[in-house]
Amino acid sequence: MSSIEDFYKQIKEINASGKEPLVIESGEGAYLTIEGKTVLNFCSSHYLGLAEDERLKKAVKDAVDKYGVGTGYRTLAGTHKLHLELEDKIAKFKGTEAAVVFSSAYMANAAAIQTIIGKEDIVISDELNHASIIDAVRLSGVKNKFIYKHTDTADLEDKLKEAQEIPLKSDGQKPLILIVTDGVFSMDGDLAPLPKIVELAKEYGALTMVDDAHGEGVLGKGGRGIVDHFGLVGQVDIEIGSLSKAFSVIGGFIAGNKTLIGYYNLKARQRLFSIALTIPDTAAALAAINILLESDTPVKKLWENVEYLKAGFKNLGFDTGNSQTPITPVMLGDENKAQEFSTKLYEEGVFATPIVFPMVAKGKARIRVIPSASHSKEDLDKGISAFEKVGKELKII
Ligand SMILES: *Cc1c(COP(=O)(O)O)cnc(C)c1O
């Protein structure tokens, strides 16, 4: 047993090993100002460059003038008509019957799993799923957890077969089986094999859930997401989205059929016991969704930039992994090399953070570059030349 003194001593030591956060002194557009220095923003997940968009700013100002700032608890007196409008537009955008918003995708994942999965049910999860899914599974208290090898549908099928052997629950019912996966895996930019997952789910009687935080605003027609990308609209039970990535605001949602969303509205603890989105957040998110409902221009611009950047890196001889999305890992391998590479890029006026263990496996360190629709060709050229200079200096290329 450790004394209170020991406890504080231990956490003090751990705190000392932490890094001070970088403090941004500008908006989050194509460039950032950090400690008075302006650098190219080369790793942001504001894919569509909406963080400083005039339409979002205006929507927020108008809504705040009209309705003020705060809202309440949704089930008491906190459901504002803007919330309903946002949910309606999200459902329209995703091509689902309904949607419900939460204060983040972390919360939406927690709600999506905890509300429907009990101790005796079954969850089958990709080994590289996002931390918020892992935490959501833990929160449900489910005992029957299966982890399948990353995107390996043969292994998933083995787990589904094992799941069939699990006995009836104490109430005599069959356990519910939920297959859950990230849509886009955020470190490598690869995709979940959703068509095969949906096929297996049908065969073995499982519910499907996909977290599309990095797919919305990016994949599919006009950025509709991974389910649209694979032509599977209406065939995935639970879709999770974040309003903080491509939409550049805050909030998360569950999209799906009316019955399921109705149940989440009634039962999700994250909705009953936690506050609703504020007026400015809701108005900004609504404006962002409306932009994409009206036009695919920002998504097209994003992809033009992605093609240009990836071609630039390939021509220089960098290994950019097997991403199918704007997430562009520049593989460096060694942790120290990745750190040094990032520091040197910063000296060249380019901000791109290193991704090292434990975020990725040891020896798989990289710089994760993400271009956005806010970059011009000149911005991308600037970034590519900085990579060329540093890459040659460190003998990577
Ligand atoms: C970023 C992310 C989340 C968390 O989103 P928030 O809205 O910031 O809570 C959840 N899942 C995945 C896959 C993500 O990439």
pLDDT digits (tens, 9 = 90+) for 292-329: 999 999 999 999 999 999 999 999 999 999 899 999 99
Ligand 1 pocket test, pick from 211, 212, 214, 242 with the greatest ligand atom count within 8 Å of Cβ, gives: 242
* Residues contacting 16, CB < 8 A, separation 6+: none
Ligand 1 atom with the smallest distance to the CA of 133 is: 11
Q: Using a 6 Å cutoff on CB, does residue 47 contact ligand 1?
A: no
Cα–Cα distance for residue pair 326/48, rounded to 1 Å: 11
Structure tokens, 259? 């019955």
Question: 143 falls in which pLDDT band (50, 70, 90)?
Answer: very high
Report whether pLDDT(358) > 90. Answer: no
Give the Cα separation of 251 and 91 in Å (integer): 15
The highest-level CATH class for domain 54-294 is alpha beta
Average pLDDT value over all residues in the chain: 96
pLDDT in tens, 50-60: 999 999 999 99
| % of the chain beyond a pLDDT of 70 | 100
- At residue 183, the 3 state secondary structure works out as coil
Name the more confident of 18 and 149.
Answer: 149
The predicted model scores a pTM of 0.96
Q: What is the mean pLDDT of residues 377-386?
A: 98
Contact 149, 191 (CB under 8 A): no
> Three-state SS for 187?
coil
Structural tokens at position 157: 């099928």
pLDDT at 1 over 70: no
Q: Which residues contact 367 (CB under 8 A, 6 or more apart)?
A: 43, 329, 330, 332, 338, 341, 342, 345, 352, 353, 354, 355
Query: How do 144-148 and 177-182 pair as beta strands?
Result: unpaired
Ligand 1 atom with minimal separation from the 211 CA: 13
The answer, yes or no, to whether any atom of ligand 1 lies below 6 A from the CB of 129, is no
Peptide linkage before 358 cis (omega within 30 of 0): yes
Task: Tell how far the Cα of 241 is from the centroid of ligand 1, in angstroms.
Answer: 8
Question: Which residue's alpha carbon is at the smallest distance from atom 5 of ligand 1?
Answer: 105
Give the residue, 78 or 219, on which the prediction is more confident. Answer: 219
Nearest-CA neighbor of 277 among 78, 76, 65, 53?
78
> What pLDDT digit, counting tens, does each position of 226-248 carry?
999 999 999 999 999 999 999 99
What percent of the chain shows pLDDT beyond 90?
A: 95
Angle at alpha carbon of residue 45, lines to 37 and 332, rounded to 5°: 75
From atom 2 of ligand 1, which residue's Cα is the shortest distance away? 213
- Ligand 1: nearest atom to the Cα of 106: 9
**In this structure, are residues 228 and 221 in contact, taking their beta carbons and an 8 Å threshold?**
yes
pLDDT in tens, 83-138: 999 999 999 999 999 999 999 999 999 999 999 999 999 999 999 999 999 999 99
Give the pLDDT score at 240: 98
> What is the rounded distance in angstroms from the CA atom of residue 309 to the CA atom of residue 58?
32
Which protein residue has the closest C-alpha to ligand 1 atom 14? 213
d(CA 183, CA 167): 30
Check pLDDT > 70 for residue 224: yes
Q: What gap in Å lies between CA 277 and CA 60, rounded to an integer?
A: 13
Q: How much distance in Å is there from the Cα of 385 to the middle of ligand 1?
A: 31
Residue positions annotated with a catalytic role: 186, 214, 245
pLDDT band at 2 (very low <50, low <70, confident <90, very high): confident
Determine if ligand 1 sits within 6 Å of the CB of residue 46: no
Q: Specify the fold of 19-45+297-393.
A: Aspartate Aminotransferase, domain 1 (3.90.1150)
* SS3 letters across 4-72: HHHHHHHHHHHHHHCCCCCCECCCCCCEEEECCEEEEECECCCCCCCCCCHHHHHHHHHHHHHHCCCCC
**Left if phi > 0, otherwise alpha if psi is -120 to 50, otherwise beta: which for 125?**
beta
> What residue segments make up the domains of the chain, in order of their start?
19-45+297-393, 54-294
DSSP result, 271-335: HHSSPPPPHHHHHHHHHHHHHHHH--HHHHHHHHHHHHHHHHHHHHT---TT-SSS-EEEEEESH
Contact 110, 264 (CB under 8 A): no
Residue 315's contacts (CB-CB under 8 Å, 6 or more residues apart) are none
Q: Ligand 1, closest atom to CA 184?
A: 13
Tell me, using a 6 A CB cutoff, whether residue 177 lines ligand 1: no
pLDDT tens figures, 240-275: 999 999 999 999 999 999 999 999 999 999 999 999
Compute the distance between CA of residue 367 and CA of residue 349 in angstroms, rounded to an integer. Answer: 15
Q: How far is the CA of 119 from the centre of ligand 1 (A)?
A: 25
